[in-house]
A and B are shown apart, each in its own frame.
Chain A
């Protein structure tokens, strides 16, 4: 019993080490994709997850394009009317670029998410329309940001980019960013995916009173009930969709009225001969015509008889399969209320690491860490020349790293380069403290009595505690500020210091005591 009570620190260390090893290697602990979060990839024999830097992938951190007027007095007016009025006054904005959100009975926020609209322009627009407002600022509102996150998540899922994550980040200075991380994907692909607003609509292009006109938005994203995945057929790639009942009636009426559904169907030559074509349906993605097509005689027949609306299935055909995929993804994910600002002066940051580069960073940094530990071990051995002191020191320092790695694996923290730098720093401070303990305990010759050992160990511990406290203080700003990846460095340094002070260094004291003292 006595031995257990005396050596409980060593026992505790052994227990924690076993737990860490278990967390690190046991297949049952695999925190999996869910807990890992931010773009992680677990691989190899350990349960460690690696961040983008070490596994490859793309990260984009960007603000949203937009200006917002707060506390706009809208009275009882319909918010959609307000949006339409504001959009009409601003050249750069469509109605879909203006979002009016009621905050109270009589006030609302007005956001304009078109590019190139300044706060002054929004202010003077509201003035000229006679709406009084509280303030105008850069940026969009919280609900808009939340919606952007939701839509982007959908887009990434629909595009089949597994492991991709989207989240909001707020900087210490109050800036808001959207952070998108997608493992194993090229930068340009991710940029293409997240940069587009993803608005999909169907227009009718037809002849009215002798001139060609366009009826816009006979079908928009909200009008589709079921959206299929992109498919290939003899007539080309298409996305099968079902139109909502209400919209189906209107669409059917519009198609008949404009002559798309005329007896015998229509043939569209919009691309070759826009002036002389029969009526066409146009698929528009982000204001670009993606495809134009006429109508088959059979479909035209059911449209004009009115039976189509009872079973409103429809095929959005495209020119190639990847366009069909884009249309399907955009329709399923929904339209982004605001775009990510990627290339502007005030824009965000993006980084891409190829999987092969990530792989070499991973092995190289592990080699770097091991060589650093060996260097430390070398210095310690040369200094003490006594395996009894030096060996436990190195073993203890290693066990600190093992505990940290086990912790990282257990919570599914994605390791990145700064975190590995943190490990190396932890080895540095850890060994420093062990040197303090060893020197203090062995000062003035051998320690044969346990009481002397304890009092010396306590003295040493004061210095270690003080040093640990300063390290924690020095690193905590980095852990709190959003300075990118450096958070990982700070978190692991602080964690390492805490593990050291609470666990490994007391245990090293006990080990030394067992090895050096004689009376039991």
Chain B
């Protein structure tokens, strides 16, 4: 049987500054992307149907792809915002912006055109706005709650803030990537962002715990924490990549969105935990405490 083991990184070759530079640069770039996005589009992320309101229709029709799109365009009086095809079952997901037409009109037009309606989702603009506020509130409360808990667990500033900064960066990097890759913020992606808080703190706590609470050499503790932590994160990434690929093929967009964002977040977490968090801990252990 093939065995893989987490390679031992020779951290002594790099200074704390060098280690922290990579994740901090990533964080800075991500924040810039989000700030730029806010300036240009007026919103830090592209809000999806759940938050802006609108109508999403999933229909089945018996036509080759190019022709199907034309038929869909022709069938509705309002211009569809997007038409996506789901290859696994030959359906199309058509979205309309809020206010383009009432859902009942869209439903009637789809029926009149002979499309088989597989699903309809309609969200009013005001309802979407309220959902957006609540989702934002949820993420903020979750993050603050996590921070308080981490401080209570470690009761020292540097290790605690290291965990909190890592978690923050774990959320910010996927958001920036979502913007760049055109993934909209949906209820699914909000759930994924909250999940990232849970997942990301796991490996950070593990690392902090090994270094602060165990006797033994710093690098030895680090290596042991890494061996466990990297395995954990890789397992989760494997699960999420598979979930994303399969759900995309099946056109289950909620599962695909959760999976994609978690893959980003977990990958960011690998970088943040073992470069940023670790460098802060090393500084704390060798210089911060001594001072």
Identify whether the interface residues of A are mostly helix, strand, loop, or mixed.
helix
Contact of A463 among B1, B130, B205 (CB under 8 A): B205
Q: B124-167: which residues lie under 8 A (CB-CB) from chain A?
A: 124-127, 130-131, 133-135, 137-139, 141-143, 145-146, 149-150, 153
On whether the beta carbons of A343 and B235 are closer than 8 Å, the reply is: no
On whether the beta carbons of B119 and A351 are closer than 8 Å, the reply is: yes
Size category of the binding interface on chain A: 35 or more
**Is A103 in contact with chain B by the CB < 8 A criterion?**
no
On whether the beta carbons of A187 and B239 are closer than 8 Å, the reply is: no
On whether the beta carbons of B191 and A378 are closer than 8 Å, the reply is: no
**Is B19 in contact with chain A by the CB < 8 A criterion?**
no
Shortest distance between the CB of A489 and any CB in chain B (Å): 5
Give Cα A436–Cα B89 distance, bound, in whole angstroms: 41
Residues in chain B near residue A470, CB distance under 8 A: 146, 149-150, 197-198, 201-202, 205
Give Cα A474–Cα B247 distance, bound, in whole angstroms: 25
Residues in chain B near residue A427, CB distance under 8 A: 239
**Is A109 in contact with chain B by the CB < 8 A criterion?**
no
On whether the beta carbons of A343 and B103 are closer than 8 Å, the reply is: yes
On whether the beta carbons of A436 and B187 are closer than 8 Å, the reply is: no
Size category of the binding interface on chain B: 35 or more
**Mask: chain A, 469-491; 1 = CB below 8 Å from B; 0 = not:** 11101111110011111100110
Shortest distance between the CB of A459 and any CB in chain B (Å): 8
**Is B231 in contact with chain A by the CB < 8 A criterion?**
yes
Residues in chain A near residue B135, CB distance under 8 A: 481, 483
Shortest distance between the CB of A472 and any CB in chain B (Å): 8
**Is B107 in contact with chain A by the CB < 8 A criterion?**
yes
On whether the beta carbons of A421 and B255 are closer than 8 Å, the reply is: yes
Contact of B142 among A373, A378, A474 (CB under 8 A): A474
Residues in chain A near residue B214, CB distance under 8 A: 459
**Is A372 in contact with chain B by the CB < 8 A criterion?**
yes
**Is B84 in contact with chain A by the CB < 8 A criterion?**
no
Give Cα A520–Cα B127 distance, bound, in whole angstroms: 62
Residues in chain B near residue A372, CB distance under 8 A: 239-240, 242-243, 246
Shortest distance between the CB of A241 and any CB in chain B (Å): 32
Give Cα A363–Cα B93 distance, bound, in whole angstroms: 19
**Mask: chain B, 237-272; 1 = CB below 8 Å from A; 0 = not:** 011111100110010101100100000000000000
Q: A169-225: which residues lie under 8 A (CB-CB) from chain B?
A: 171-173, 175, 187-188, 191
Known contacts A352-B117, A367-B246, A470-B146: A478-B239 contact under CB 8 Å: no
> Which stretch, A117-125, A128-136, A151-159, A379-387, touches the partner chain B?
A379-387
Residues in chain A near residue B5, CB distance under 8 A: 383
> Which stretch, A71-79, A249-257, A353-361, A401-409, touches the partner chain B?
A353-361
On whether the beta carbons of B138 and A483 are closer than 8 Å, the reply is: yes
In the A-B complex, the 9 residue pairs with the smallest Cβ-Cβ separation, listed nearest first, are A471-B198, A477-B138, A474-B197, A364-B250, A357-B118, A439-B228, A473-B145, A346-B126, A375-B242
Would you mind naming 5 contact pairs between A and B with Cβ atoms under 8 Å apart?
A: A347-B124, A347-B127, A348-B127, A421-B188, A429-B202
